[in-house]
Structures are given as C-alpha cells and as structure tokens.
Amino acid sequence: MKHWITRIADELNEKDVPEHVVASGTSISGSIHIGNSCDIFIANAVTKALKKMDTNSKTIWIADDHDPLRKVPYPLPESYEKYLGIPYSKIPCPEGCCSNFVEHFEKPLLSILEKFGIELEVYSGAKMYKEGMYDEYIRIALEKAPKIREIFNKFREHPLKENWLPYNPICQECGRVNTTYAHSYDGDIVFYSCKCGHKGQMDIKTGDGKLTWRVEWAARWKIFGITCEPFGKDHAASGGSYDVSKIISKDIFGYEAPYPVPYEWITLKGEAMSKSHGVFFTPEQWLEIAEPETLNYFIFRSKPLKHKDFSPSMPFLDFIEQYDRVERIYYGEEEASSDKEEQKLKKIYEASQIEISESMPFHPSYRFMTVAYQIAGKDPEKVFDILKKNSQLSKSMAEKTFAEIDAVDVERLETRINHVKNWLELYAPEFVKFQVLNKLPRVEINDEQKEFLLEVADLLENGSYNPEEFHDALYTIIHNLEIKPQKAFQAIYKVMTGKKQGPRAASFVLSIDKDLVIKRFRLEE
C-alpha cells in the first residue's frame, strides 16, 4: 500500500528527464490561505518523495503578481477599488510596511515555510516579464496567434475576433491590464486599445504587458522544464485551463504538459474561502494553534480531490485527537482496527512529518490540556502534574517527575501549552472557557445538590482515585441520592467556576488542589 504522493513520485520517476521540476503558483490577490497554498505543500511533498528515490528534483513557486486586481481583498478599504484592473506588482502596500502590495501579502507565507520544512525557488511573474524571460514566448504567441485562436475557439461558445492577440499590454493611460485589447503588432511593438479610451503601442521588452493566462501557463512550463504541477480543481475542469494550456504547450511551444495534480478546495466551516470576504485561514494562523505537521496531515490524509472542510473551533479538538491517534499507532503505542488501517495511517503519518523521530514525540492530549491550562496556566510543571494526576501520560512518562523529563519533551509540552492558550483565546466557544474562582461565588444550589457536594468532599478526604475510579464513585453517590446527574454536575461547576457547565467532572475535580475542592464543596468561604 502506497500513499498517493508516493504513487505520483513513482509515475514521475518513469519519465526520462534530467531533473524533475515540481511547480506551484499563487495569485497574490490578498492573504495566502491554506486553500490556495495547497500547491506549495503538495509540490514540496512530491519533491521530497522523489529525493527519497535519489531522483534529481526541486520545487519552484511562482508568484502570479503581474495579474490584475479583480476584487478588493479583506481587510482593505473600499478606496482600493481605484486599483481594480491594475497588476498587483504596481499597487502600493496597504499599510506602508512593505515595498508594495505583493510583498505585503506574500511575506507572511514565505517567512514561515521553513517551519514546514519547505524548500523552494521563488519567482515573481512581474520580474520574469521585466527580465525578458517571456519575450521569446510572446513573439512565438504573436506569430502563431491564428493557431492559438483556433485552439481557444474549440472550447468557447463565442469565437474570438479575427484580430485578437494572446497578449494584454498595460495601458499607459489608466495602468490597467485587463481592459486592453491587442489587435496588431510589428516586430516587438504591440498596438492596442483600452476601454478607458486610450489607444497606444508598447514594446514587449519593457515587460509592461502579459500573455493571456492559458498561454502564459504553457510558456512557463517550457521555461522551467516543469514536469509536475498541483493546481485547483477549477483549472482541471473539462475544457478548462489545463486542457487548453496542454494543447498550447505541445502545439505552440513544443513541450509536453506536466503531470497534473488537481486538488479540491478547502472550505472553512462549510463556506468557500474568499479573500474579498475575509473568509480564510492562513498557515500562519495554523502555527498559532498547532504543530506544522498537523497541517501536512490535514492536507495529506485524504486524496487531493476529496472534499476537505476545516473549522478552528470545536471540531479542531477532534482533528488533533485523530492526528495524535495516528502518531500513537505509528509508534506502536496503540493498535489500529486492522492491519490495512495500520499500513494506511503509517503512510499518511510519514508523508506528514518534516523529520521522523526515533521515539514517539511527547504530545499530551490537546483536549485535556484545555482544562489543565485553564487551571494551571502556562507553568509546564503544574500542567505536567495535572496530566499525571489524570492518567494523561504514557506509562514511561508517568513514572518520571517533571525534573526527570528531558529538555526536548519540556519544549514540546511548552509548545502545546502555548497552542492551547492561543486556541482558547482565539477560537474556543464560550462554554469551553472557565476559571476556578478564588472565592466561593454567590450561586443558588438546592439542598439535594448541597448533600451531593458534601458526600463528594468526604469521598476526596478519605481516599485517592484515578479519573475512572472517581467517575464511577461520583455516579454511585448520584444513584444513592437519586439526584439527576445534570443537577449534580451543575453543583460542581457552580461552586468552582460560577457557571452551570464545564469539562468532564471527574478529571476537572482531580485537576484542582484537593484541599481547595473539599473546602469549596463544603461551602466554606
């Protein structure tokens, strides 16, 4: 059984090429999120798989920063509508912190790629035009414009005009590139008209223009010798960009199109990610709440065209628990449901790792740590003690004191504490949040609830329990008093936090200082 990334690498390895160039590209139209950065993650994974086979390979990333702004991205003001149609590379930085619009939005991504173990060569579409990398292909495209029109028209309902050229100059009057129409040329000089009313000419060598997208895509395959490229499913639709560019690449530029890896969009809480509407989640945001390997796992755990939905709120805890389970199975700390599942999960885990540790990394339960953090704060020793009290450590770790665990494990614990802290502050619903109050709050509890609390206080004073034992003991008291479980647990949360609900009662109570709990359950000030 092979992971789909390995299968792609196997097929690429059969091709007789001196080097595999796995390409990725992103339109710099706003914040780069986990949806439109999938190209990068998949491309890097394929390259790594090829290198494991001792195959010469590399990943490149092309910023499509010469494209026109079509919608004002969130959170930019409406005043940025004046830049609609203007290439991203020519728009100023919205906050004055970077050289331009492009740097402002690509810098956050490029600055954290190292944390994901991603190595790539970075190219700017605008610089490629300025430096003349496209000049030869522009000339070929202009010369073979009738043939390109013919290819395009096979996939169009309304045919292109007879004088249409596959090139758009940037208007010298209004600065827009999506409102110009190139109708003729003489050598390197292209003549055009613009919707703003301007008629002009430009030299392709200035770089102040661009090939129409499907021709540009085919040209850069040839320029870089690209052999594989992931891209969104919209490009993979029948008669879409890839189908058209594939023909142009072969018939116009004499180059076989790269191996395609189309992928499904990632939705956010069921909603399509949108830069203009502010509906997105970035890789930087991910690193605030989880390790980089978990994002790899999210992308690689299912085939690229399978639907993926992400929510940073409560479903995120389930997701992290799934990842931790896969990690335990990989290191033999937990059994899979079958041999087939074990093989599958191990391959996914391997594909997700930046580096694979010899022994299982220390990753205590994220869900339980949302409780431990709210009781102990950021102190790793106090958190460790709560984990130990609640049987949340592996057997080998449970036998150690905090002073005996090594520095790497302390660092991992501190990292997860910080992730949990950020998740609670940024994404946790209110019902998950609590604070153990220093004083007995003014709350209403009935006589039945008071009796329940007194019996639990006596239970704690006269014995010690693990979470399962204490859970069973609580239900024994509930049964004997014939009190509804909901009312019993409400009493616990009310006197400890002032709320009617909280985390799993047994673990919650055992995580707090025993003397404080006994005093509080006896309603002592």
Helix segments in 228-338, DSSP class H: 233-236, 241-251, 283-289, 292-300, 314-330
Residues 371 and 511 in one domain: no
Domain-embedded: residue 207: no
Residues 375 and 244 in one domain: no
Q: Is 163 helix (H, G, I), strand (E, B) or coil?
A: coil
Cβ–Cβ < 8 Å for 5, 57:
no
Domain-embedded: residue 169: no
Residues 114 and 69 in one domain: yes
Neighbours of 494 (CB within 10 A): 21
- The DSSP H or E segment spanning 260 is strand 259-263
pLDDT of residue 276: 85
Domain-embedded: residue 467: yes
Cβ–Cβ < 8 Å for 364, 402:
no
Per-residue CA distances from 426 to 65, 288, 313, 423 (Å): 31, 10, 9, 5
> Within 13 Å of residue 262, how many CA atoms lie on the same side as its CB?
14
CATH number at residue 471: 1.10.10.350
Residues 460 and 483 in one domain: yes
Domain of residue 417: give its range.
Answer: 366-432
Interatomic CA distance for residues 336 and 352, integer angstroms? 18
Residues 264 and 223 in one domain: yes
Query: Of 378, 398, 432, which residue sits at a domain end?
Result: 432
Interatomic CA distance for residues 195 and 203, integer angstroms? 20
Interatomic CA distance for residues 460 and 453, integer angstroms? 11
Residues 376 and 421 in one domain: yes
Domain-embedded: residue 150: no
Neighbours of 474 (CB within 10 A): 22
Residues 472 and 425 in one domain: no
Cβ–Cβ < 8 Å for 26, 37:
yes
Residues 417 and 452 in one domain: no
Non-local CB neighbours of 39 within 8 Å, separated by 6+ positions:
24, 25, 26, 61, 229, 230, 231, 232
pLDDT of residue 338: 97
Residues 384 and 464 in one domain: no
**What are the backbone angles phi and psi of residue 57, rounded to the nearest 5°?**
-160, 160
Interatomic CA distance for residues 150 and 17, integer angstroms? 31
Per-residue CA distances from 250 to 154, 243, 245, 256 (Å): 16, 11, 9, 5
Cβ–Cβ < 8 Å for 136, 254:
no
pLDDT of residue 394: 86
> Within 13 Å of residue 458, how many CA atoms lie on the same side as its CB?
7
Residues 115 and 247 in one domain: yes
Determine whether the annotation assigns residue 275 to a binding site: yes
Domain-embedded: residue 459: yes
Non-local CB neighbours of 433 within 8 Å, separated by 6+ positions:
374, 424
H and E: helices and strands count for the chain: 22, 13
Residues 17 and 100 in one domain: yes
pLDDT of residue 525: 74
Encode the chain (525 residues) as per-residue pLDDT tens digits: 899 999 999 999 999 999 999 999 999 999 999 999 999 999 999 999 999 999 999 999 999 999 999 999 999 998 999 999 999 999 999 999 999 999 999 999 999 999 999 999 999 999 999 999 999 999 999 999 999 999 999 999 999 999 999 999 999 999 999 999 999 999 999 999 999 999 999 999 999 999 999 999 999 999 999 999 999 999 999 999 999 999 999 999 999 999 999 999 999 999 999 988 889 999 999 999 999 999 999 999 999 999 999 999 999 999 999 999 999 999 999 999 999 999 999 999 999 999 999 999 998 999 999 999 999 999 999 999 999 999 999 888 999 999 999 999 999 999 999 999 999 999 999 999 999 999 999 999 999 999 999 999 999 999 889 999 999 999 999 999 999 999 999 999 999 999 999 999 999 999 999 999 999 999 997
Q: What is the pTM of this model?
A: 0.94
Query: Of 221, 246, 272, which residue sits at a domain end?
Result: 272
Interatomic CA distance for residues 84 and 88, integer angstroms? 9
Domain-embedded: residue 233: yes
What is the rounded (10 degree) CA torsion for 309, 310, 311, 317? Answer: 110
Query: Of 384, 408, 432, which residue sits at a domain end?
Result: 432
Residues 375 and 482 in one domain: no
pLDDT of residue 277: 87
Report how many domains make up the chain: 3
Domain-embedded: residue 315: no
CATH number at residue 95: 3.40.50.620
Domain-embedded: residue 188: no
Beta bridge partners, 225, equal: none
Interatomic CA distance for residues 89 and 66, integer angstroms? 6
